[in-house]
Amino acid sequence: MGRLILYSFFAFLAGVFLYSLFFANWLLDFFCSCGFRVGALIDASNWLFLFSVLGFMAEFAFMKLNEKPRTVRQDPITNPQISVGMTAYNDELSIGGAVRDFKKMSEVVNIVVIDNNCVDKTAEVARKAGAKVVKEPIQGYGAACVRALKEARKAGNLVCLVEGDQTYFAADIKKLLAYIENVDMVVGTRTTMEIVASDSQVTPFIQIGNIFVAKLIQLRYWGKLRLTDVGCTYRLIRPEALDKIIGNFDVTGNHFSPHMIMAALKMGLKVIECPIAFRKRVGQSKGVGNDFVKGLVNGFQMIFDILKS
């Protein structure tokens, strides 16, 4: 369910694109009589529009027929014991501060830093700050996240995933905790600009790209969640929910975050977003950061993953 909506939306976009080519041709013809001959474009775009309208209608009819009542769960965690998995890749400048920040939280019972083949002093600094350090030989943000989840799962009664780059605030764990009562997984969103620093990685381009990809997931999993950010690592998940999805990940690269959200939705888990604060990174970005080209490549990888899901 939802796949047809997604494909219909892409057919609509393709229709708009072809139609705009036709319009551009008309403008060229009008102003300089140098337009290219693209009469067939208008036919193709009309067919695409027709397909998208029929697709939307068919999907909505199917959804109406299969509609199930939505229940709300109220399952508070009275004695939260959070085990934090923290990713790190040559993050000696930030990892100490990040570990200390989380150690201050009374709900945090365990911190494990994933050393993803670091060649600097990340492991040493992390250990000194009070974290357990585990080495992950498979290189990549996704591989580091999966290992962080697996290692953090070994302690406590809630699992938290976060980066060791000091962009996230440990105190926000209380916000995630408040939301977990009703769901299986809470994912941060960095779209509430009042609490997102202007010198952080969230540039207008990254924000628009994030929202666009997030809305594609929302189309694909229609009615299951509201999503606005696909690049936020900070999340809290119930261990029993994690057990249902931990074997289903096959992304080791930078597009892991939405991959995990979709894995949860596919298993029928309830996922919710929660606004969190975000600040400038300490040390150099190894991921997308605010790099336009890397952001674009990462966005296409995410879209491909959504189409596959």
Ligand X SMILES: Nc1nc2c(ncn2[C@@H]2O[C@H](COP(=O)(O)OP(=O)(O)O)[C@@H](O)[C@H]2O)c(=O)[nH]1
Under the binding rule (CB under 6 A), the answer on residue 210 touching ligand X is: no
Helix orientation angle between 3-32 and 39-65, rounded to the nearest 10 degrees: 160
Taking contact as CB under 6 A, which single stretch among the options 152-160, 177-185, 216-224, 281-289 is the one that binds ligand X? 281-289
Contact pick of 163, 229, 273, 305 for ligand X (by CB under 6 A)? 163
Q: Are strands 235-237 and 158-163 parallel, antiparallel or unpaired?
A: antiparallel
By three-state DSSP, how is residue 132 classified?
A: strand
Closest approach, Cβ 260 to ligand X, in A, equals 13
Under the binding rule (CB under 6 A), the answer on residue 88 touching ligand X is: yes
Backbone angles phi, psi at 296, to 5 degrees: -65, -45
Closest approach, Cβ 65 to ligand X, in A, equals 42
> CA geometry: angle at 226 spanning 224 and 230, to 5°?
110
Are 189 and 225 contacting, i.e. CB atoms less than 8 angstroms apart?
A: no
Please state, in angstroms and rounded to a whole number, the distance separating the CA atoms of residues 163 and 94.
10
Report the site for ligand X in 46-75 (rule: CB under 6 A): none
Please state, in angstroms and rounded to a whole number, the distance separating the CA atoms of residues 236 and 239.
9
For residue 210, the partner it binds in Mg ion, ligand X, none, with Cβ less than 5 to 8 A by kind, is: none
Under the binding rule (CB under 5 A), the answer on residue 273 touching Mg ion is: no
Enter the DSSP assignment of 248: G
Helix orientation angle between 95-103 and 122-129, rounded to the nearest 10 degrees: 20
For residue 224, the partner it binds in ligand X, Mg ion, none, with Cβ less than 5 to 8 A by kind, is: none
Under the binding rule (CB under 5 A), the answer on residue 165 touching Mg ion is: yes
Under the binding rule (CB under 6 A), the answer on residue 116 touching ligand X is: yes
Are 230 and 213 contacting, i.e. CB atoms less than 8 angstroms apart?
A: yes
Closest approach, Cβ 276 to ligand X, in A, equals 14
Q: What is the H or E stretch that residue 166 is in? A: none
Q: What is the H or E stretch that residue 174 is in? A: helix 173-180
Count of CB atoms within 10 A of residue 104's CB? Answer: 9
For residue 91, the partner it binds in ligand X, Mg ion, none, with Cβ less than 5 to 8 A by kind, is: ligand X
Under the binding rule (CB under 6 A), the answer on residue 142 touching ligand X is: no
For residue 144, the partner it binds in Mg ion, ligand X, none, with Cβ less than 5 to 8 A by kind, is: ligand X
Which tokens go with 240?
A: 């029993």
For residue 286, the partner it binds in Mg ion, ligand X, none, with Cβ less than 5 to 8 A by kind, is: ligand X
Under the binding rule (CB under 5 A), the answer on residue 163 touching Mg ion is: yes
Under the binding rule (CB under 5 A), the answer on residue 229 touching Mg ion is: no
Contact pick of 195, 272, 289, 309 for ligand X (by CB under 6 A)? 289
Residues lying near ligand X in the complex (CB under 6 A): 87-89, 91, 116, 139-141, 144, 163-165, 201, 254, 281, 285-289
Residues lying near Mg ion in the complex (CB under 5 A): 163, 165, 167
